Structure 1
Amino acid sequence: MSKTFVFKFGGASVKDAGSIKNLSEILFNRLRNGLVIVISAMGKTTNRLEEILQIKYRQEDYSSNITILKEFHLEICRQLFEENSSIFPIVSNLITQLEKQLERSLTKENYDYFYDQVVCYGELLSSKILQEYLCSKGYICVWQDAREIIQTDSNHRFAKVNWDQTTANCQKQLAPKLKQFPVIVPGFIGSTVTGDSTTLGREGSDFSAAILASCLHAQSVTIWKDVPGVLNADPKRFSDTVKFEELDYHEAAELTYYGASVIHPKTIKPLANAGIPLFVKSFLQPTESGTKIHHMDYINEKIPCIVVKDDQSLLSFKVTDFTFINEGHIQEIYQGLNELKLKVNLLQTSAISISIVVDRQDFKIEKLIANLQDAFQIRFNEHLQLITIKHHNPITIEKIIKGKEVIMEQITRTTFQVLHKPASS
């Protein structure tokens, strides 16, 4: 079999007709047998689907939102295809399937399950459109439903991969196709053993690429972004960013843990375990070097890295019987967090309280408070911002906290974190 390579294109790279044309130009000299192309939903489609879910949950009319979503995809198709193209009935059929999913009952109890059955249509639409467009331009490639390949448990919205079965599926179904054609795969999604759709965590298409690369023993993974590579800060927030030419797996993994959005947090582990290098490159400047993430025997210069996470929630748990905080209290809180699949971004303890910072998630924080309110007095703040500086120095810290209403901060030898209330909140 020819060597396998995996490319992943995010939503910004397929946000409109011009972007898809640009993507096809990137693939012009790179399209070959053995290439897996993982595609995210177009632009802000996932956000639109989440908004539809919210409207559905409030028992309000979402029909106009469906119309807007359908028209968005059809208009892109009109700019890319002839009128008689088969893509138009394909898109209409997928939208009809989505509408049928939305006819079912939605409650707090089945929200995560319902989410996965609905939000998966973003990637199904984008990957089908791209595959049809490449074929219309003479680039022969085939489409593969990721749900037939990536098998997971039923932890909806944060599904865990069944690696043995997924590897077997890759070798049986995907590898033979790759001997003859490049293969387009929708990212972010998988399925349970019973065939229900699952998702791998928000922005999980990077992880899809890593899963397929690991199971296929790929030579490399390339993630195509709208930035020149991995930067030490978000260029949309900071003007003086620095690009890393290369990063060690461990360094990259830490940045994703703290919330760096350029790579999904679960992406690094399977690639590092298999020794598969990860390249982060710009689809706007495809000939530039980007950043290579791999095993490094030497230490980079410790450039401060700044990661910003919005919409954070602070929960403070105080014991009510004048006892001091102990391991049992922490275990009880973490058990509640684990059951609801809430990840702690910052933890701080005192003699009589435990404070945690988590991402805001619909219904889950309310459930956590309800589950623990008999054991603790709980205080709750939301709409906060968490800033992490890795490899901090006094100048960077001073610059970051200047003028901010600081609620909590924590510092170690390598990491500084500050939670504050944004001025607009």
Structure 2
Amino acid sequence: MKVLKFGGTSLGSPENIKKVIAIVAKKSQNDQLIIVVSAFSGVTNQLQECSRLAEKGDENYKAQLDELINRHLEAVQDLLGAKAQSGLMAKVRLVLNEIEDILKGVFLIQELSNKTLDKVIGSGEVLSAFIVNEFFLQEGMKSNLINPLEFILTDSEFGKANVDMALTEEKIKPYFQNQKADVLVCPGFVSKDLYGNSTTLGRGGSDYTAALIAAALDAPELEIWTDVSGMMTANPKYVKQAFAIPQIDYEEAMELTHFGAKVLYPPSVHPVYKKGIPIYIKNTFEPDAEGTKIHEFPEPDSQSIKGISCIENIALFNLSGSSMVGIPYFSHRLFEALAQAKVSVILITQASSEHSICVAIDLEDVEKAKFAIEKAFSLEFKEEMLNPLYVETDLAIVALVSSQMKNQIGLSGKMFSVLGQNGINIKAIAQGSSEKNISAVIDKKQVKKALNTLHESFFLSDLKRVNLFIVGTGNVGQTLIDQLNQQSEYLKEHNQIDLRISGIANSRKMLFDLNGIPLENAVETLMEKGQKMDLEDFLLEMKALNLRNSIFIDNTAHEVVANTYAGVLESSISVVTPNKIACTGKFGDYKNLKNLALRYRSHFRFETNVGAGLPVINTLDDLIKSGDEVLGIQAVLSGSLNFIFNNYTGEGESFADVVKQAQVEGFTEPDPRIDLSGVDVKRKILILLRESGFEMELDDIDTIPFIPEKCMQAENVEKFFEAIAKEEAHFKKLVEEANAEGKKLKYVATFENGKANTGLEKVAPDSPLYNLEGKDNIVLFNTKRYPEQPLVIKGAGAGAAVTASGIFGDIIRIANAL
């Protein structure tokens, strides 16, 4: 004899019920089956809502009840032929009429006891069983309807009655011995007390009904049929990559169900656990899927963690004070007060100093728990022997579950580390001495991020997903996306990094996609599907998504975007940018961004601020962290200016023509005055000095201009080109003077003896700067370790490709650190 239980979703529609009969027909060929059924999906909630409305005197209960009545009558009509309908309709209407009468009475007196509520909500399973059994009969099965009120006996704790196990088992055995039908259909959830009153076994109690029957009859197995293919490694509503656990032991299953795994009602495990009866969790809609086997001695499994679960809507009570230290029975008084108030404690943690104790409870119980605790310790609160009771709400518990934790080193450390790296603050932790789970209390809004982060770390550790939010799709932005697309598969295969664009924006549109915006045509997709761009909305959505391993990439040069970095870093989202504005504003603001990144475990990367793709800042960072000290810097930091003075000879093309060429080839900003003013170089040397540990402002750096002021004051770019064309003699003279001395013109940034300056210099042939070609940059660091021969970093310092590669490098460095 086998016991199968079908949940509400399996019976949610006539089409689904037809899937159930296909499963039952196949299995009934060799065994007598007991089929335990839940109410149709949503019916129990609807019956409860009708009851609450009636209690309030709200006539809307009638409309909801009518909807429920019609649903069951329509199910009868859809499933059964005319001949079978008449007899069943009478039974169904009898139950429905009784519900109507009860609710009418509740409405009139506006009072609803738990006893009455049990009578109402238990009728959903009764109706479901009537319809399913009749359908089986119509389809030619030898089926019989059985009544659990005759063998499941409980106390009178209405709402969640406690089963009298000995008496129930004593009743079940003879009851089923007399049942000869091939298929026995039994309503789940419902029971009766010793006085004959209807009771219920708690929400999810249909599983419990099936388990009680299976245990009493020593069934070879218990099958729970639902809408998922087994117990999942995490809640698939939050974790799309969750998968079914092939096998799990009873204790692990109980831990997972306790911590929110909805696929199985927690008390259901215990009756079959005692008898060693395996439980199979199966999917009605994928009956051939393997599902999950819950049994006593699962085979050795390399996976140390079996599942990650959570309980939402948690409140945390913190009771603290000096009077707690060394006082006997203090904890006893606390838990006694909560028990008398019928408040279930979900998690407990206490400091070894005995100065405080935390308990986590269901959010619904906050008020009565608060009242009970304050009453129990009223004297201590009055005499200020205890601190005021501190209550935090809108929390959740996440838990790692495994029976093998005791033999695994570092699981707790890994759990807390990955949560911390993603900015998830832990309010409280608990791990039982049996080491079956590690639990952490966190903000409810962080649940999705926490579950995905933990799931990736413990189940998908060979592939780390990084969520990119890109603002700016110009030359650099588009080139970066092209590079991401080109290297995507390589990074997955060789570095186990999955880079995904989850959000993208330009000045006109923005777009988000949790599944990732296609790299091969991201900008086209943005323009086709995106909505109007609003920076504030973009940032709010990025933060609200709260995705793990998130990186905000600013490819713009806008101050308004740079001013948002603090809020992004505070949200534990890393920032990568070629935008120099944030690092060259006030020193206090720059330092604040660095501190925020440390505090919130995010990363602030700006390698491309100096030297585009050259490893200038990272090299400097390594020097400083390893204890070196910068004594001097000499650098050509403008690829655009180097390109201009390498190509302007004073004999061929005019200075204006060379600048125009640099602009067309993308070596300058759209307005070349930004480059020619030297302010860009000034910002770059300032960043290097700040990264070297010097507290300097932009105004501390002297700049010697080489462009006539009247040119720089031109009203637009076109007028500027006209103005510098008229000053050709000035630029020609600069080149001729340098040539006469056997030198070349380079725009140089220098730091020496605590002072910094930028300007056009004549560089001699023996200088490393002399032979700098094209758009290349060069940086010379004189440090305590490199006092005579400087450390030299040289290479291309401008252009979309090298800048994008520098941004890409920062992304990879962050991904490797996550």
What is the TM-score of this pair, normalised by structure 1?
Answer: 0.89
Contact preservation (8 Å) 1:275, 1:295: yes
> For residues 316 and 109 of structure 1, what CA distance do their matches in structure 2 show?
36
Per-residue CA deviations over 1:7-26 (Å, capped at 9, x if unaligned) read 00011100111110111111
Per-residue CA deviations over 1:30-84 (Å, capped at 9, x if unaligned) read 1256311111111111111221232233232211111111112222222212345
Match of 2:444 in 1: 421
Match of 2:621 in 1: none
Shift of residue 325, structure 1, vs aligned partner: 7.6
Contact preservation (8 Å) 1:317, 1:378: yes
> For residues 49 and 296 of structure 2, what CA distance do their matches in structure 1 show?
41
Shift of residue 123, structure 1, vs aligned partner: 0.8
Per-residue CA deviations over 1:217-255 (Å, capped at 9, x if unaligned) read 111100112111122112221122232222122222222
Q: Report the more deviating stretch, 26-35 or 373-382.
A: 373-382
Match of 1:116 in 2: 118
Are 2:396 and 1:385 aligned? yes
Identity %: 27
Partner amino acid, structure 2, of 1:315: F
Contact preservation (8 Å) 1:317, 1:355: yes
Match of 2:47 in 1: 49
1:21 equivalent among 13, 18, 21: 18
Partner amino acid, structure 2, of 1:43: S
Q: Map of 1:16-415 to 2, 5 A cutoff?
A: 16-31=13-28, 34-61=32-59, 62-83=61-82, 85=85, 86-105=87-106, 111-177=113-179, 179-296=180-297, 298-301=299-302, 302-303=304-305, 305-318=307-320, 322-324=323-325, 326=327, 328-350=329-351, 351-361=354-364, 365-376=366-377, 377-390=388-401, 392=411, 397=416, 402-404=422-424, 406-410=426-430, 414-415=437-438
> For residues 405 and 104 of structure 1, what CA distance do their matches in structure 2 show?
50
Shift of residue 316, structure 1, vs aligned partner: 3.5
Contact preservation (8 Å) 2:143, 2:185: yes
> For residues 153 and 6 of structure 1, what CA distance do their matches in structure 2 show?
25
> For residues 357 and 105 of structure 2, what CA distance do their matches in structure 1 show?
40
Partner amino acid, structure 2, of 1:192: D
> For residues 333 and 8 of structure 2, what CA distance do their matches in structure 1 show?
39
Partner amino acid, structure 2, of 1:336: A
Structure 1 residues 418, 383: CA separation in 2 closer, same or farther (over 3 Å shift)?
Answer: closer
> For residues 214 and 22 of structure 1, what CA distance do their matches in structure 2 show?
27
Partner amino acid, structure 1, of 2:211: A
> For residues 295 and 27 of structure 1, what CA distance do their matches in structure 2 show?
26
Secondary structure at the aligned position of 2:441 is classed as strand
Q: Report the more deviating stretch, 91-100 or 274-283.
A: 91-100
The count of aligned residue pairs is 417
> For residues 317 and 102 of structure 1, what CA distance do their matches in structure 2 show?
43
Structure 1 residues 297, 37: CA separation in 2 closer, same or farther (over 3 Å shift)?
Answer: closer
Secondary structure at the aligned position of 2:375 is classed as coil
Shift of residue 400, structure 1, vs aligned partner: 5.3
Shift of residue 182, structure 1, vs aligned partner: 1.6
> For residues 309 and 391 of structure 2, what CA distance do their matches in structure 1 show?
23
Partner amino acid, structure 1, of 2:438: T
Partner amino acid, structure 2, of 1:216: L
Secondary structure at the aligned position of 2:262 is classed as coil
Question: Quick check: which one's helix share is greater?
Answer: 2
The root-mean-square deviation of aligned C-alpha atoms, in Å, is 2.8
Partner amino acid, structure 2, of 1:390: V
Contact preservation (8 Å) 2:54, 2:104: no
What is the TM-score of this pair, normalised by structure 2?
Answer: 0.48
> For residues 110 and 326 of structure 2, what CA distance do their matches in structure 1 show?
32
Per-residue CA deviations over 1:333-385 (Å, capped at 9, x if unaligned) read 32233345433221123545433222344xx5433433332234544444432
Secondary structure at the aligned position of 1:373 is classed as helix
Contact preservation (8 Å) 2:252, 2:401: no
Extract unaligned runs of 5+ from structure 2: 378-387, 403-410, 447-543, 545-818
Contact preservation (8 Å) 2:334, 2:376: no
Shift of residue 160, structure 1, vs aligned partner: 1.4
Contact preservation (8 Å) 1:404, 1:421: no
